[in-house]
Amino acid sequence: MAKRRRRKMKLITKLIISFLSLMIVLVGAYFGRHAYMNYRLRMEQQQTIERQAKEKRDFIKRVAPEAQRMQAKYHVMSSITIAQAILESNWGKSQLSKEDNNLFGIKGTGANSKLFTTREYVNGQWITIKGRFKVYDSWDASIADHTRLMLEGTYYKSDNYEPVVKAQNYQEAAQALQDANYATDPNYAQKLIQIIQTYDLDQYDR
């Protein structure tokens, strides 16, 4: 009787040990998979961050040479030109910049323009409007026309952007653009300044 009881206890002990071992394996597998999934997620996020950072560096490298060429000839600061291109085109990803090479949202008329939907800040709120915007053969052409706009002004005021061209630093130039109503965004100047400082764009002014 005692032997039978001992055998039964041994069997129960083995079953308990087997059950606990299985639970340990299952729990380990669960947490191991969870840790692996978290690792993969972190890696994918890091890769996304690195890819986006590279895309931004590539965009700056692509537009900087023409911006610097325009600065050398006409004194429109490269940092301002690059920052505007970034802000207005969302790093070259906007439909207008991808399809029509218009980096700055410059409006136009006639055959070399296209009807496009955009947002503007009017009477204290953002509204959606339709307008005609210029079409260019290349981003360089867009940058050159942006410089021309700074030099020649608008049809209603030829010296509208003169303070931008004569600015002594990018902070003055950014504020001059806002004062000249280049964009309807009330925070336009601060956004340009922040972009310039974040990506050290003033290095292209030297």
Distance CA(113)–CA(161), nearest Å, equals 22
The answer to whether the CB of 173 falls within 8 A of the CB of 162 is no
Name residues whose C-beta falls within 8 Å of residue 205's C-beta, 6 or more positions apart in sequence. Answer: 71, 77, 78, 79, 170
Active-site amino acid positions: 120, 145
Report whether pLDDT(201) > 90: yes
Report whether pLDDT(112) > 80: yes
The answer to whether the CB of 171 falls within 8 A of the CB of 137 is no
> Which of 12-26, 38-52, 140-154 bottoms out in mean pLDDT, i.e. has the lowest?
12-26
Percent of the chain with pLDDT over 70: 93
pLDDT for position 24: 80
Mean pLDDT for the stretch of residues 94-116: 88
Domain ranges in the chain are: 64-205
Q: How far is CA 157 from CA 104, 128, 154, 161, in A?
A: 19, 26, 5, 9
Distance CA(169)–CA(205), nearest Å, equals 9
pLDDT for position 121: 65
70-80 residue pLDDT tens:
999 999 999 99
∠ Cα 136 142 143 (to 5°): 165
pLDDT for position 177: 96
Fold that domain 64-205 belongs to in CATH: Lysozyme (1.10.530)
Distance CA(82)–CA(61), nearest Å, equals 10
Write phi, then psi, for 87 (nearest 5 degrees). -65, -45
